[in-house]
Amino acid sequence: MVTPSTLKTPEALGELRACEADAAVVVAYGMILPQAVLDVPRLGCFNLHASLLPRWRGAAPINRAIMAGDSETGVMAMMMDAGLDTGDIAMAERVTITDAMTAADLHDALAPLGADLMVRAIGALERGMLQFRPQGGEGVTYAAKIDKAETRIDWNRPARDVLRHIHGLSPFPGAWCEMTLEGAAQRVKILRGEIAGGSGTPGELLDDRLTVACRQGALRILQLQRSGKQPMKAEEFLRGTPIRATARLG
């Protein structure tokens, strides 16, 4: 097995040529392949991308689809070119995104679909039956890498927006807020939640079940993680760390 740290050196290019591959498949590589690499396989280089292109080209399509409130996403087998996920599309599978889905849930739903899709695509390629279509220029969006600056929860947003923000970042890097625990403000990751009834000042705890007021509506925390601890369900957390209603989350 060869695992070069870069594909831009003459040595890496020589190793690839030595394989005499008819086609190459890339999944979650995270780098744009140089044109010299794309030109090596006789039938081309193919990428399995986790979005419905041209929506969510780039590094974090699963996270961004959830965070944006999309109702569906999918996986696509595409011919790679020198651009960022701009190549022609061959085949696709679609998945509904529910408000209950975290990034991990969606990843696990897409993974087997994507594996089967790429096997079918390469089989069609081998038979000379794989057909392509250009993406077109409408509906292009970019799934930028997740920045630490956007991981803090803003309770001043509507409850569904907060929920999608939390789920889109779960389990990594994790959306977080501050709770006053043991007399001090501590950072806590919120990993899963659900829309709940109630209203109040954004960030206010409305009951003893970790229901938090948002700008519109409320959200109940279902799973969370204290710094240095394992993730736990809300009821487990509350057994060891009771929090009074009307407390504020920052």
Q: Give residue-wise pLDDT tens across range 122-150.
A: 999 999 999 999 998 899 999 999 999 99
Report domain 148-240's class: alpha beta
Could you tell me if 175 and 189 are in contact, meaning their C-beta atoms sit under 8 angstroms apart?
yes
Distance between CA 178 and CA 247 in Å, rounded? 11
Residue 1's pLDDT band (boundaries 50, 70, 90)?
Answer: low
Distance between CA 240 and CA 235 in Å, rounded? 9
Q: The tokens of 76 are what?
A: 């696509």
The CATH T-level fold of domain 10-143 is: Rossmann fold (3.40.50)
Q: What is the DSSP letter of 133?
A: B
Instruction: Look at residues 164, 136, 146, 144 and name the one whose alpha carbon lies nearest to residue 53.
Output: 136
Distance between CA 63 and CA 106 in Å, rounded? 9
* Strand positions, DSSP E, 54-183: 57-58, 72-79, 89-96, 142-143, 175-181
User: Can you give the pTM of this predicted structure?
Assistant: 0.94
Residue 241's pLDDT band (boundaries 50, 70, 90)?
Answer: confident
pLDDT value at residue 242: 75
Which residue intervals of the chain bear CATH 3.40.50.170? Answer: 10-143
pLDDT value at residue 137: 87
pLDDT at 184 over 90: no
Which residue has better confidence, 180 or 104?
Answer: 104
